[in-house]
């Protein structure tokens, strides 16, 4: 049976116990999300985000280095929450869990504004980095529980497979008349399963 996984993110994105910090970051995430509905990412300033979130610029910089760090944290948190709601689990030994992870990624990309939008192309590398980080941590956690028989570190394998999964999902997203996400997940698992043994 596949085990439950707690994803660890960078310090700026991990779960914070202090409710004031959590609340401020939530306000910043929500402000950026609302601004992205109206403006291109490259035209949104830190001042715009601060005003929309009702926090000052200094407070913004107490939490994030810049708007790119905020974007990455927001996307990573939303993707992690998306997978959590779907009860996506991966323990390194369950191919059904790997399929669920790929399926969840495909559905997330298909439902996320800006992933296939020309207007928001400048923010795509930051969105990609956030999503790949979550996938990598999930894979790494599972691989550490059930190591591969290959003579490759769990870190190298998790990194390689996370990029392969993301690349396949992105190609699927950009394909006209694409197959369903579940079918795509099955195809990807067939391709990457030999790497995981």
pLDDT tens digits, one per residue of 85-105:
988 877 776 788 889 999 999
Whether residue 10 is predicted with pLDDT greater than 90 in this model: the reply is no
Across 13-18, average pLDDT: 58
Place of tokens 């116990």: 17
DSSP state of 163: H
Across 155-181, average pLDDT: 93
Domain with CATH 1.10.357 in the chain: 72-196
Both tokens assigned to 31: 């402000």
Could you tell me the pLDDT band of residue 107, with boundaries at 50, 70 and 90? very high
HSE-up (13 A, CA, CB side) for residue 110: 19
Q: Which CATH architecture has domain 72-196?
A: Orthogonal Bundle (1.10)
Element (H, E) at 144: helix 124-145
The superfamily (CATH) of domain 19-64 is Homeodomain-like (1.10.10.60)
**Whole-structure pTM over 0.85, yes or no?**
no
What's the Rg (C-alpha) of the chain?
Answer: 18
Domain with CATH 1.10.10.60 in the chain: 19-64
């Amino acid at each position: 049976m596949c085990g439950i996984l707690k994803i660890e993110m960078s310090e700026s994105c991990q779960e914070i116990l202090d409710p004031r910090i959590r609340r401020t970051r939530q306000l910043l995430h929500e402000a950026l999300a609302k601004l992205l509905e109206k403006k291109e990412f490259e035209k949104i300033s830190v001042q715009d985000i601060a005003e929309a979130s009702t926090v000052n610029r200094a407070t913004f910089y107490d939490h994030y280095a810049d708007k790119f760090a905020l974007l990455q944290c927001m996307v990573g948190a939303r993707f992690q929450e998306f997978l959590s709601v779907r009860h996506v689990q991966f323990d390194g030994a369950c191919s059904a869990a790997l399929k669920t992870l790929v399926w969840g990624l495909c559905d997330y990309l298909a439902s996320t504004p800006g992933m296939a939008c020309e207007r928001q192309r400048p923010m795509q590398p930051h969105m990609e980095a956030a999503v790949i980080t979550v996938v990598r941590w999930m894979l790494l956690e599972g691989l550490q529980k059930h190591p591969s028989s290959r003579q490759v570190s769990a870190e190298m394998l998790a990194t390689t497979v996370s990029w392969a999964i993301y690349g396949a999902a992105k190609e699927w997203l950009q394909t006209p008349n694409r197959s369903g996400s579940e079918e795509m997940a099955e195809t990807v698992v067939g391709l990457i399963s030999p790497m995981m043994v």
